[in-house]
Amino acid sequence: MNHLFITGTDTEVGKTVVTSLLFKSFIDKGICVRPFKPIQTGAYKEGNTLIAPDVAFYQKIKMIAREKATHYLFEPACSPHLAGRMANTHIDIETIKKTYVELSQNYESILIEGAGGLAVPINESADMADLAKLLDVPIVIVSRPNLGTINHTLQTFYYAQSKGLEVAGVIFSKVSRQRTDIEEENIRFIEERMPVLGCIPDVKNIDEKLADENIALELTAHLNIDKLQNHL
């Protein structure tokens, strides 16, 4: 079983890019894999259809059916608990688990992308860490390498441990092509405390470029999938 829950130290940290690159890496290894975004906020409309932007991003790697790609879809770009309240919808993590179980019966690997970080509220009583715990899968933390990341990454790591979650490791995104001394030291310091599973170089306008096979291959080469699978 190769299921993973991808979380981040913050919003816009690169979770969707990393999820998409893991998606491609698993495909290239012959694994039957499916990305799953249980709760998507910040959706946009195409005609009368509400589109999940993260799912549209995954489709740059490979087309997937929109059915069950998300479970809850909201237009406001805010935390899930607020988006649900604004839509008069109670987000039930048990129903998310049912969709996850259905997907896992048809795929070797489900890549579950959370919304924001582990402490982001889903409703008034559950957060993303509670969802990851319910699904009972290891988590991958996506983080930046720049100033402040030691605090943010270790806070996420220790919060995950306090919730009884297994942390497979951390993947750094938006890493400078020529790493600064600060980036090098931050990565080194964190690697002494948890596995570093990859350092993805920064690519400007990556949302426009990831469909390019050569760029996708170059970026996936910076992931240590064998090291990741040792934790699964």
Residues annotated as catalytic are 37
Q: Give CA separation, 133 vs 127, 137, 157, 163, in Å.
A: 10, 7, 14, 7
Annotated binding residue at 25? no
State the Cα–Cα distance between residues 135 and 213, nearest whole angstrom: 32
Q: Is 117 labeled as ligand-binding?
A: no
Asked if residue 19 belongs to a known ligand binding site, the reply is no
- How far is CA 160 from each of CA 151, 189, 218, rounded to the nearest angstrom? 14, 19, 31
Is 133 annotated to bind ligand? no
Answer yes or no: is 62 a known binding residue: no
Do residues 109 and 32 make contact, with C-beta atoms less than 8 angstroms apart? Answer: yes
Residue 33 to residue 35: CA distance in whole angstroms: 7
Q: Is 203 annotated as ligand-binding?
A: yes
Known binding residue 9? Answer is no
Task: Return binding residues for Mg(2+).
Answer: 16, 54, 113
Binding residues for substrate: 41
Which parts are annotated binding residues? 12-17, 41, 54, 113-116, 173-174, 201-203, 208
